[in-house]
Amino acid sequence: MWEKTAISMFEGKKIRRVWDKEKEKWYFSVVDVVWSLSESTDARKYWNKLKQRLKDEWSEMVTKCHQLKLIASDGKYYYTDVADTEAMLRIIQSVPSPNAEPFKLRLAKVWYERMQETVDPEISLNRARENRQKYGRSEKRIQQRMMGQETRNKLTDYWRDHDVTIWEEFAILTNIIHEERTWLSVKEHKHIKHLKSQNLRDHMSEAELIFTALAELSTRQIAETIEAKWLDENKVPAKKWGQIAKNARKALEKKTGKNVVTWANFLPPK
């Protein structure tokens, strides 16, 4: 479930973190982050006081913290509080320190941008295009990615309108389609591409994107035809019509001698 402790840099100081393979998210040492922001000589004592204040205020942030054994400066492992990115950002907002102000301002800016996007969705599309350009994606690839996203959105809209509303159920159906199309689960596909929290689709080849869109288009159309509702009924088109993309993939691979599913990604060089 847990991978080896890693080290990242935050405000020029080392932050211990650990990757949860099941939930696919990072957990950060709260004491390390608080230490980097508060400049306290005793970060553990500072966090204990802050944690008690949050408890007194009935904050849910404390309940979102977990305890894991992380390696300390003496080379031994000790239990320490860790939090995922969402909880960590909320804790940062509670740190009364000038060093935390830039992060609070940034969070306020992001929140305002998301409010704008709800009023005008085109802002979100333009921002996504700009972000992909910053990562060096070509216009052709950006267009392929956004067309694939439109196909994906139509499928999830259908699920949502037909009583598939829980995120976990979306993930189950997505994984069924993915396994039928590629023989790999989404997690296994991310693993061979050496991805962790990154979006798998942002690291797919042109062929992988096309076959993903074909599988999701086929799933939605047959679901509409049989008027599938709920999770169990939608599993049928997800499994059956994911096979359409699989058969097409196998035919192409036989003709070209090349695998559609690859280990290649768009991660920057280490």
Q: Work out the percent of the chain whose per-residue pLDDT is above 70.
A: 93
| Band of pLDDT at residue 233, cut at 50, 70 and 90 | very high
Residue 4: pLDDT band with limits 50, 70, 90: low
**pLDDT at residue 214 above 80?**
yes
Q: Locate the domains of the chain by residue range.
A: 6-100, 138-256
- 1-15, 148-162, 189-203, 247-261: segment of lowest average pLDDT: 1-15
User: What amino acid occupies position 257?
Assistant: G
147's CB contacts (< 8 A; 6+ apart) are 213
Rounded to two decimals, the pTM is 0.70
> Percent of the chain at pLDDT above 90?
35
Confidence of residue 3 (pLDDT cuts 50, 70, 90): low
- Predicted local confidence at residue 118, as pLDDT: 72
pLDDT at position 62 is 76
pLDDT digits (tens, 9 = 90+) for 20-65: 877 778 899 999 988 888 877 888 898 888 888 888 887 777 777 8
Question: pLDDT tens across 99-158, in order?
Answer: 888 778 877 787 777 777 676 766 766 777 777 777 777 888 888 888 999 999 999 999
Which helix (DSSP H) or strand (DSSP E) does residue 107 occupy? Answer: helix 101-119
* For residues 68-75, average pLDDT: 86
Decide: 80 and 67 in contact? Cβ < 8 Å: yes
Q: What is the pLDDT of residue 11?
A: 63
Burial of 238 (0-12, 13-18, 19+ CB in 10 A): buried
Question: Mean pLDDT over residues 216-238, rounded?
Answer: 93
> Residue 125 burial (CB < 10 Å; 0-12/13-18/19+)?
middle
Spatial separation of the C-alpha atoms in residues 200 and 114, rounded to whole Å: 23
Tokens for 47, please give them.
């966090």
